[in-house]
Structure 1
Amino acid sequence: MQQAMLLCNGVQTHVMTEGRWVEEGLSQTGSKDLVIVIPGNPGIPSFYSGFIKSLKSRLPSETPVWTVGHAGHVQPPKNLCFMSEDDSDKPVYTLQDQLEHKVAFIKQYVPKDAKLHLVGHSIGSWCILQLLKDPEIAKQVVRCYLLFPTIERMAETPNGKFLTNFVLRAATLIVFLAWIFSFFPVVLQSILIRIFGGFFAGVTNKSIKPVRQLLEPPVLDRVFKLAQDEMVKVRERDDELISNYEDKLWVYYGATDGWTPQNYCTELKAKHPDINAQICKRGFRHAFVLTDEVEVGKMVGDIISETMSNNP
């Protein structure tokens, strides 16, 4: 696994890969398939390290997997923060900013002959659907794999209501507490994350580092503001877009997901009978990267491998 901060659209961006590094391009032999993972919110690639490792294990050796972090969701090292063309200290990155950031990444780093497999988690699924509106990107896409996709009516979901009515109202206080937390020794931070994160969210030792990245006050503030923007912007499902590309979509809903209720999947299939959409029968959580990353990675990797076999 390789990772680094890359400048993209004026922002130092955390990128993590399994297989060839971003700036190495694709293998000169074998297929030109490339898997890009767009995370949910928070868009911190380290949360996805186990997932992409598991996913990569099911693919041909020459097929790389890249995870692109969201703009502003990982604080760059201090020696990178003040580069003249760096916009990493911007206080807010809207949903549209994040979309433009992903478009810029693909156009800057993805070879023109690459055959793209786009994997989106949560709001990353919304970003992927929007990417299909770009003709240059759409023609490179072989298939999109949307996991627990928040692509419609987010504010109307149980989790959306809780976020709006409680979490976002307390966001300023939570960021202030994160600022106090930042003065604690790293060892104490890790212990507290393990105790409280494990109890409330299933955080394990492997997730302590990305949780510490999330609790950087500027990052946490941007995460909350992006979530607030999602509640406003992600409303009606884009049925015209889905109709145009439904043969390229594989959609996976949770069985008990407070962000993507089962009726959203049922309604999607009623409107688009031929779409490949299903409800999880294996008990995977929306935040699968905390507890089920290996199993979900193998599942998605197998589906991508099958798709590659059918599209040589």
Structure 2
Amino acid sequence: MSYFAPPSDVSVTEKEDAFLRKHVPRYTNLLLIGHSTGCYIILEMMKRAQEMKVVKAVMVFPTIEHMACSPQGKVMTPVLCRLRYAVYLPIILLSLLPERLKTSMVRLTLRNLYALDNSIIPATITLINVDCAANGMYMESHEMHLVVERDNLTIRQHLSKLNFYYGAMDHWCPVQYYHDIRKTSPEGYIHLCERGIRHAFVLDAGEEVVNMTTERIYDDLRTL
């Protein structure tokens, strides 16, 4: 069984900076799109590698602050940080089931979605794997301790390049977080989406979110 953990002799920051310098040409125009903690990663990239030429960064349902204090975080933090090993055995047992039975179980679990995207079913089945679950849960437990204070300094420094989309029904990033960032950065493009789209929009509203974000990107790029 494999687990993600940073090597002891090289910091995560140094490895990320080295990767960016090696694989991202210095003068390339970059359009960054992040979802959830992907938005936290974008802010870290913009802070650590300021030589990158980021022309726009779109932050969809940004989980960039007080992750463990959010409604969903309060539920998941004890599971991820203290009880995750108890989850491994059921996942091992589920992974032994025939593919047809796993497919039926996934369809049953997702049956109440308003508009299920069938393309997510094969991807979901591949997640019924103890290595995948162990790595994912370890990473998420680490995020609970890492994503705490919003990086207002980096946000203010790059505010003209940032587009934020918060969700009115987002349990990882409650509406109060939207109001808080609006107070600290009132001149920024910080939008509250009231369409009832869930945080895990890929399950049933992927196309709607893509259309919403691309329209904004095209409008912004026309003014550059």
Q: TM-score range by the shorter chain?
A: 0.7 to 0.9
Give the Cα separation in 2 of the matches to 1:170 and 1:201.
Answer: 31
Q: Partners of 2:84 and 2:18 in 1: how far apart?
A: 30
Compute the displacement of 1:191 (Å): 1.1
From 43, 50, 60, the counterpart of 1:135: 50
- State the 1:110 CA deviation: 3.6
Q: Which amino acid aligns with 1:267?
A: D
CA drift at 1:135: 1.7
Match of residue 124 from structure 1: 38
Question: 2:90 corresponds to which residue?
Answer: 177
The percentage of counterpart residues that share the same residue type is 31
Q: Which residue of structure 1 aligns with residue 72 of structure 2?
A: 159
> Any idea what SS the aligned residue of 1:117 has?
strand
Shift of 1:213: 2.4
Contact 1:194 1:204 in 2 (8 A): no
Q: Report the CA distance shift for 1:200/1:100 in structure 2 as closer, same or farther (over 3 A).
A: farther
Q: Paired residue for 1:198?
A: 111
Work out the CA distance in 2 between the residues paired with 1:177 and 1:200: 24
Q: CA RMSD in A?
A: 2.4
1:298 aligned to 205, 211, 220, which one? 211
Residues 4-153 of structure 1 mapped to structure 2, 5 A cutoff = 90-93=2-5, 97=12, 106-133=20-47, 134-137=49-52, 140-153=53-66
Q: CA deviation at 1:251?
A: 0.5
Where structure 2 has 5 or more consecutive residues not aligned to the other structure, the ranges are: none
What TM-score do the two structures reach when normalised by structure 2?
A: 0.88
- Given that 1:155 and 1:231 are in contact with CA atoms closer than 8 Å, whether structure 2 keeps it comes out as yes
Taking a change above 3 Å as real, the CA distance of residues 93 and 117 of structure 1, as seen in their structure-2 partners, is farther
Deviations 1:185-243 (A, max 9, x none): 21211111111233589865321122122222111111111111111111111111111
Instruction: Work out whether 1:257 is the aligned partner of 2:170.
Output: yes
| Structure 1 position 243 matched with structure 2 position 175 | no
**What is the CA-CA distance between 1:262 and the residue it aligns to?**
0.8
Structure 1 residue corresponding to 2:201, chosen from 280, 288, 305? 288
Q: Would the alpha carbon gap of residues 166 and 91 (structure 1) be closer, same or farther in structure 2, given more than 3 Å must change?
A: closer
Equivalenced residue count is 219
Pick from 168, 192, 212 the counterpart of residue 279 of structure 1. Answer: 192
Counterpart check, 1:234 vs 2:181: no
Q: Which amino acid aligns with 2:41?
A: C
**Structure 1, unaligned stretches of length 5 or more?**
1-88
CA distance 1:153–1:206, change in 2 (3 Å): same
Helix, strand or coil at the partner of 2:57: strand
Residue 48 of structure 1: aligned partner: none
SS at match of 2:106: helix
- For 1:268 and 1:194, how far apart are their aligned partners in 2? 38
TM-score w.r.t. structure 1 length?
Answer: 0.64
105 and 192 in structure 1: CA distance in 2 versus 1, 3 angstrom threshold: farther
